[in-house]
Structure 1
Amino acid sequence: MLITSDAYTQLEDTLAKMAEAAELDQTRWNRLKTAYEAISKWLSEDPDFFGEVEIEIYPQGSVSIGTTTKPYGRTEFDLDVIIHIKLLSSNHQPETIFNEVVRRLNENETYQKMSESKSRCVRLNYKGDFHLDVVPGCMVVIHDNELIDIPDQKRKIWLRSCPKGYQSWFLEIANKVQLTFLEKAFSANKIEIEEYAKKKPLQRAIQLIKMDRNIYFNKHPEHAPASIILTTLAAQFYDGQPSISETFEGIIDKIRNHIKILYPNRPFEIPNPANPSENLADVWEDKPELYSHFISFIEKLYSDWQKLKKSHGIEEEAELMKGMFGEDSYIKAMEAKADMVNKRRGQGLAILPSGIMIDSHAEKSLPVKPNTFYGD
């Protein structure tokens, strides 16, 4: 971590570490990958339906674009994977494909005990780890490896989707920033750049927005806007800022203005950038009260951010950040900072006049005073 006396850099660093504390870690990502590869293998070994069919399995949603966040108050992550079945959807009924996936999974004693059929997926509950929503999909046309039809087994229709195309669209926008604000801060002071500083500001801002959403709608999660809505709007309104705080503020400002100027009383459509015929916010048409909850959330997010910008002192800032993004994430960020100070102190810790931590033999450095970051 960066240990700095510069308030802006300090905020930026803390925001990044808080988002990192709430995301899917590498160990759990490895377990997820092992889990969905095992599902693919089990389907491919089916002697009745899938055995002669090519199947590709891959994550979609937050896992694929690097914006995972742990649900508030829970240890499990909600994650999605696509079972891309290389059969033309036009040759099959949607309920047939869905039912075949359910049948094959239930033939496995382990999967049978943890499975729950939903409208468009089969949920596998890896207790204490993650909920894995297995979403089957078939080809729309031959030789197109992105466009798929997903069976809605309750409505008995195919739903067009393009998760790979969405991932490419999002990452192209996020990667417009070649060096983040934190990467530049590390490089300017000749410090090896840590991994958490490399994640793009758009990804971090979306993580923080979702963290705040999870807290705001903790008692009524059914009112919360879907991650795909928040993610798509964030990417569409992103202006390429290199810092998390500028990105976060810019996105919220633009969403808020979009609502106030154009759609104060009625919901708007959000076309899927990878499949424009799909309205990602169609739920607002069926349940307009959810749009009202969305507006209230954006107003609260805007208000809280303005308070954080104007906060005076570490204690006030800490309380605001805990309220917005979670106490656990804040504590983990502060613990990481304290650990860094303690490790470096024994190595001859020093700090530049700019506030960046360096070795004590560096030029123009000052000794660091003892600090636990808890006011002790």
Structure 2
Amino acid sequence: MFHDQRLIMRDGMLIGALERMCATLEISPSQAALAKERYDGVGGWLAESEDPLLKAMGIFLQGSTAIGTTVKPIGSNEHDVDLVAHAPGLGNWIEPVALKKAIGDRLKANGHYKALLVEMARCWRLVYANEFHMDITPSIPNRNCNMGGELVADRALKIWKPSNPKGYKALFLERVKLAPRFRVTKSFHAEDRARADIEPYPEQVYFKGLLQRLVQILKRHRDVFIAVNEIDLSMSPISVLVTTLASQSYEYCVKTFTYDTELDLLFDVIRHMPDFVEVRGVNGRMQWFVWNETTKGENFAEKWNGDPKRAEIFFTWHSRALSDISRLKDVEGIDGLKRQLGDAFGSGPAKAVVDSITEDISVSRRSGTLGVAPRIGLVTGVTAAGVTPVRANTFFGR
């Protein structure tokens, strides 16, 4: 039983390391509050316009900021904050280019926003240097969607295409709430040491949401993979596709299997992601589909069908992510952890994780709560069976 306990402790420490890493990459509470203040201001400015196209226009979050999966881009201090500027009173009789122009003209009429404004293909970007940039995408209601969907412009601003940011957010956050089942060894809780019981996963200690953290882990790994292999950034698997496959796989794994540790669950979710890519022949050609489940007609793998190289890049990256996450189980010691995290997620986050762990070890040593567990190493707590206390010393604070 001590062997099982050590494995659970080891995986728990690795999960803790991944949690620390994600925390260094996401938008901070103060940044989130500042972003909200600023996009509320933008929404108010647009809604106060006398232009009938902008009447009752509302601004709301979409994408990673809305669902809690932000990851700071490599080589940039700016987070992406994606917004939708929704015109509830308009129909598809309005051309996308006209609504976009109306939004741009209104923003340019404000001296503060004009200085920050950059025009993108189908949205407007407000750039707050070294903080974040806000992409504002126009949308109108989709009267044909019974799930409350919307229409957004294609990149050429020629046609309206189905989308559903609010519905997508709601579905994702429902999946976040799904409680995995983990085997809990009875010897941890009672005298019976002969077998293990299955219990619902208790309230999470580390993760704000296993699914949210998994998406952050995958997005960071993807970004490092693209950079290291010098792949054109435009060919990178898009975040909404990665998020969709991860969330579908998470629901499947949670409802189907029972796991020993959170790390086992994360690995299995990654392994099953390709199962949710629909592949079929269309006019003699291979076609891929990753559908938006909250509206009809939005295929997140659409670009793969125009350039199969994109699909190849996705599957190559996915295989590497699976390999790198699985190798975490084999790391030994702080140096080994730093090397593996650095290879998979970049040297900066790896150093931040190790520095944080080292500080915790120092604090635990000074307080007398540092121990050593076989095949695990130093642990900040000595109450578990098989953990040997480490005596404190005061040489140079070590």
Query: What is the TM-score normalised by the length of structure 1?
Result: 0.82
Quickly say closer, same or farther: Cα 1:194–1:237, change in 2 above 3 A.
Answer: closer
**CA apart distance, 1:11:** 0.6
Task: Indicate conservation of the 8 Å contact 1:146/1:163, yes or no.
Answer: no
| Partner SS, residue 296 of structure 2 | strand
Name the residue aligned to 1:54.
56
Pair 1:222-2:242 in alignment: no
Name the residue aligned to 2:25.
22
Matches within 5 A, 1:294-305: 294-305=314-325
Task: Indicate conservation of the 8 Å contact 1:95/1:152, yes or no.
Answer: no
Q: Which amino acid aligns with 2:299?
A: N
Q: Which amino acid aligns with 1:249?
A: F
Partner residue of 2:294 out of 256, 274, 282: 274
Q: Which amino acid aligns with 2:158?
A: K
Mean Cα deviation higher: 225-234 or 91-100: 91-100
**CA apart distance, 1:127:** 1.0
Task: Indicate conservation of the 8 Å contact 1:97/1:151, yes or no.
Answer: no
Q: Whole-Å Cα distance in 2 between the matches of residues 86 and 5 of structure 1?
A: 51
Mean Cα deviation higher: 343-352 or 4-13: 343-352
Q: After superposition, give the CA deviation of every residue in 1:4-32 in whole Å (9 maximum; x if it has no partner).
A: 99321111110111111111111111111
Q: Which amino acid aligns with 2:233?
A: P
Q: Whole-Å Cα distance in 1 between the matches of residues 332 and 379 of structure 2?
A: 22
Q: Whole-Å Cα distance in 2 between the matches of residues 209 and 337 of structure 1?
A: 22
More contact order relative to length (CA 8 Å, sep ≥ 6): 1
Q: Which amino acid aligns with 2:68?
A: G
Q: How many residues matched?
A: 357
Q: Whole-Å Cα distance in 2 between the matches of residues 91 and 245 of structure 1?
A: 50
Pair 1:232-2:249 in alignment: no
Q: Whole-Å Cα distance in 1 between the matches of residues 132 and 300 of structure 2?
A: 24
Name the residue aligned to 1:197.
206
Pair 1:293-2:295 in alignment: no
Mean Cα deviation higher: 362-371 or 327-336: 362-371
**CA apart distance, 1:248:** 2.7
Q: Whole-Å Cα distance in 1 between the matches of residues 70 and 360 of structure 2?
A: 25
Q: After superposition, give the CA deviation of every residue in 1:317-349 in whole Å (9 maximum; x if it has no partner).
A: 321111111222222222323333444555554
| Partner SS, residue 217 of structure 1 | helix
For structure 1, the residue ranges without an aligned partner over 5 or more in a row are: 182-192
**CA apart distance, 1:302:** 2.2
Q: Which amino acid aligns with 2:294?
A: A
Q: Percent identity?
A: 25
Q: Which amino acid aligns with 1:169?
A: L
| Partner SS, residue 131 of structure 1 | strand
Q: After superposition, give the CA deviation of every residue in 1:282-311 in whole Å (9 maximum; x if it has no partner).
A: 011122211111121112222323333333
Task: Indicate conservation of the 8 Å contact 1:224/1:290, yes or no.
Answer: yes
Name the residue aligned to 1:172.
174
Quickly say closer, same or farther: Cα 1:7–1:327, change in 2 above 3 A.
Answer: same
Task: Indicate conservation of the 8 Å contact 2:145/2:296, yes or no.
Answer: no
Quickly say closer, same or farther: Cα 1:145–1:250, change in 2 above 3 A.
Answer: closer
Name the residue aligned to 1:324.
344
Q: Whole-Å Cα distance in 2 between the matches of residues 109 and 151 of structure 1?
A: 27
Name the residue aligned to 2:102.
100
| Partner SS, residue 289 of structure 2 | coil
| Partner SS, residue 58 of structure 1 | strand
Quickly say closer, same or farther: Cα 1:317–1:365, change in 2 above 3 A.
Answer: closer
Task: Indicate conservation of the 8 Å contact 2:85/2:138, yes or no.
Answer: yes
**CA apart distance, 1:252:** 2.4
Task: Indicate conservation of the 8 Å contact 1:201/1:247, yes or no.
Answer: no
Name the residue aligned to 1:80.
82
| Partner SS, residue 38 of structure 1 | helix
| Partner SS, residue 340 of structure 1 | helix
Larger radius of gyration: 2
Pair 1:147-2:164 in alignment: no
Q: Which amino acid aligns with 2:247?
A: A
Q: After superposition, give the CA deviation of every residue in 1:172-213 in whole Å (9 maximum; x if it has no partner).
A: 1121027999xxxxxxxxxxx999824111111111011111
Q: After superposition, give the CA deviation of every residue in 1:62-103 in whole Å (9 maximum; x if it has no partner).
A: 111111111122211122011122223234222221110011
Quickly say closer, same or farther: Cα 1:87–1:261, change in 2 above 3 A.
Answer: closer
| Partner SS, residue 125 of structure 1 | strand
| Partner SS, residue 92 of structure 2 | helix
For structure 2, the residue ranges without an aligned partner over 5 or more in a row are: 1-6, 184-201
**CA apart distance, 1:244:** 4.4
Query: What is the TM-score normalised by the length of structure 2?
Result: 0.78
**CA apart distance, 1:228:** 0.4
Q: Whole-Å Cα distance in 2 between the matches of residues 292 and 270 of structure 1?
A: 15
Mean Cα deviation higher: 303-312 or 202-211: 303-312
Partner residue of 2:13 out of 4, 7, 10: 10
Task: Indicate conservation of the 8 Å contact 1:151/1:158, yes or no.
Answer: yes
